[in-house]
Amino acid sequence: SDQPLILGIETSCDETGVGLVRGTTLLANAVASSVDEHVRFGGVVPEVASRAHLEAMVPTLHRALAEAGAGLGDVDAVAVTAGPGLAGALMVGVSAAKALAVALDKPLYGVNHLVGHVAAEQLENGPLAEPVVALLVSGGHTEILLVEDIATSATLLGQTLDDAAGEAFDKVARLIGLKYPGGPNIQRAAADGDPGAIRFPRGLTGQRDLERHRYDFSFSGLKTAVARWVETAEREGRAVPVGDVAAGFQEAVADVLTRKAVLACQERGISTMVLAGGVAANARLRELTRSRCAAAGIELRQPRFSLCTDNGAMIAALGAAVVERDLPPSSLDFASDSSL
Ligand code: KG4
Ligand code: ZN
């Protein structure tokens, strides 16, 4: 191919990702996760994540090159997550990317992690026709993004005011005695439960909340409602029906995420939705998003799971879009920005 070879580096949270891409063609996607090291803490520990990135960076880079059958000398540009994310974790990736760009004498592009999640979709189903609305749901973030132009322009329509969706899954799992990461375990438990048995609250969906926080989310009230429900059952000496609680909680999360993302599409006149992030693995969320998009005439696009979770290929994909537009590279002294 005559398209430039883009190397992408991602270290915003607990995954060290290095990917290689030409245009919208995926060549390699190597990921090392430190998730096992965070299990005993019940969530990502920033300092542990930073150290794990340091150790994993070079081996992951070598794995990606081997997967693509390429050498460092073939790389035409380096893209890296500039933010948002954990400050220390981001710095490891940005430092590695700068070192590579200097050593190879190739341009460097600091890009946005959230838009990267959307760019990953292009590696699955080809170029996106912007504008699109993206629903990004992971352990670290939960946003509705309006992407007018993947290389230059994205607007944050709404986000969580407290916990990320994945974080809510993890915390609720703990409340009902399931292990971290909670998402897959809640999904499994919910399969044996009745989603209609217990109705949990849908945060920020009341009339007044919708006026001020139309596309925002809140999961702390939901988490508290589950905690109260479990406490009451225990106080009254009843066994906690783990399946019903898991199913009712999962239904509440999937309902509110899907409802607001579809609303954003309808109100902004957008006909394509992208679903990404680790929580997009959730079967009920996928099902509800699919059916509500179909009912509203919205085309739903979502990449395979390995492109949904944090990875380097998504950053390379966004880098490729930026390079294709001939946008200026980042300067070598650019700083990562945890709240980009
Ligand atoms: O994108 P991701 O791998 O990266 C980080 O945010 O670091 O997302 C991880 C999150 C975790 O909170 C996990 O519980 C959640 O995604 N998750 C799920 C499922 N699989 C993973 N949540 C709900 N249902 C699932 N099947
Ligand atoms: Zn992410």
Kindly report, residue by residue over 43-99, the tens digit of the pLDDT.
Answer: 788 998 999 999 999 999 999 999 999 999 999 999 999 999 999 999 999 999 999
Q: What's the mean per-residue pLDDT of the chain?
A: 96
161 and 293 both lie in a single domain: yes
Phi, psi of 152 (to 5 degrees): -130, -20
* Residue 222 sits in the same domain as residue 161: yes
Q: Which of 39, 21, 40 is CA-nearest to residue 29?
A: 21
Q: Say if residues 174 and 180 touch (Cβ distance below 8 Å).
A: yes
Residues 213 and 298 in one domain: yes
Q: Which residues contact 301 (CB under 8 A, 6 or more apart)?
A: 121, 124, 125, 128, 132, 272, 273, 274, 275
The torsion angles phi and psi of 157, rounded to 5 degrees, stand at -80, -35
In a domain, 334, yes or no: no
Beta strands in the chain (DSSP E): 5-10, 15-22, 25-33, 77-83, 108-112, 132-137, 142-149, 153-159, 272-276, 299-301
Q: Is 139 assigned a ligand-binding role in the annotation? A: yes
Select from 103, 155, 114 the least CA-distant residue to 137. Answer: 114
DSSP 22-52: ETTEEEEEEEEE-HHHHGGGTS--HHHHHHH
Same domain, 286 and 196: yes
Please work out whether the CB of residue 329 comes within 6 Å of at least one atom of ligand 1.
no
Q: pLDDT confidence of 42, banded at 50, 70, 90?
A: confident
CB of 322 shorter than 6 A to ligand 1: no
Pick the residue with more confidence: 35 or 102? Answer: 102
**167 domain residue, yes or no:** yes
Distance (Å, whole) CA 110 – CA 104: 16
- Distance, in Å, from the CA atom of 53 to the CA atom of 254, rounded to the nearest integer, reads 32
DSSP 164-198: -HHHHHHHHHHHTT-PSSHHHHHHHHHTTS-TTTS
Asked whether 303 lines ligand 1 (CB < 6 A), one says no
Backbone angles phi, psi at 213, to 5 degrees: -130, 55
Smallest-distance ligand from the CA of 43:
1
Per-residue pLDDT of 186-230, as tens digits, reads 999 999 999 999 999 999 999 999 999 999 999 999 999 999 999
Task: Give me the number of domains the chain comprises.
Answer: 2
Query: What tokens appear for 5 in the block?
Result: 């070879």
Are residues 291 and 146 part of one domain? yes
**How close is the Cα of 213 to the center of ligand 1, in Å?**
24
- For residue 338, being part of any structural domain is answered with no
> Which of these, 324, 338, 321, 328, lies nearest to 148 by C-alpha position?
321
Instruction: Identify the nearest ligand to the CA of 285 by its number.
Output: 1
Residue 118 within any structural domain of the chain: yes
Is residue 310 a known part of a binding site?
yes
pTM exceeds 0.90, yes or no: yes
Beta-carbon count within 10 A of 234 CB = 11
Domain that holds residue 156: 132-303
- At 139 the pLDDT is 87
Q: Which residue out of 179, 250, 279 has the highest number of ligand 1 atoms within 8 Å of its CB and is therefore the one to mutate? A: 279
Task: Mark whether 80 and 172 lie in a shared domain.
Answer: no
Ligand nearest to the Cα of 114, by number: 2
For residue 337, is it within any domain?
Answer: no
CA–centroid distance, 238 to ligand 2, in Å, is 39
pLDDT of residue 261: 98
- Domain assignment of residue 336, yes or no: no
Whether residue 68 lies inside any domain: the answer is yes
Q: Quick one: 236 and 146 in the same domain?
A: yes
How many degrees, rounded to 5, is the angle at CA 304 between CA 301 and CA 308? Answer: 85
Q: In this structure, are 31 and 177 located in the same domain?
A: no
pLDDT 10s digits, 318-330: 999 999 999 999 9
For the Cβ of 34 lying below 6 angstroms from any atom of ligand 1, the answer is no
Question: At 58, which CATH number?
Answer: 3.30.420.40
Looking at the fold, whether 199 and 73 belong to one and the same domain comes out as: no
Residue 181: asked if its preceding bond is cis (omega within 30°), the reply is yes
Say yes or no: 77 and 162 in one domain: no
Look at 1 and 198; give whichever has higher pLDDT: 198
Cβ of 309 below 6 Å from ligand 1? yes
Pocket of ligand 1 contains residue 97 by CB under 6 Å = no
Residue 256 lies in a domain: yes
Looking at residue 10, its pLDDT comes to 98
Does the Cβ of 46 fall within 6 Å of ligand 1? no
Average pLDDT over residues 36-40: 81
Q: Find out whether 183 is annotated in a ligand binding site.
A: yes
Say yes or no: 235 and 145 in one domain: yes
In this structure, the answer to whether residues 18 and 95 fall within a common structural domain is yes
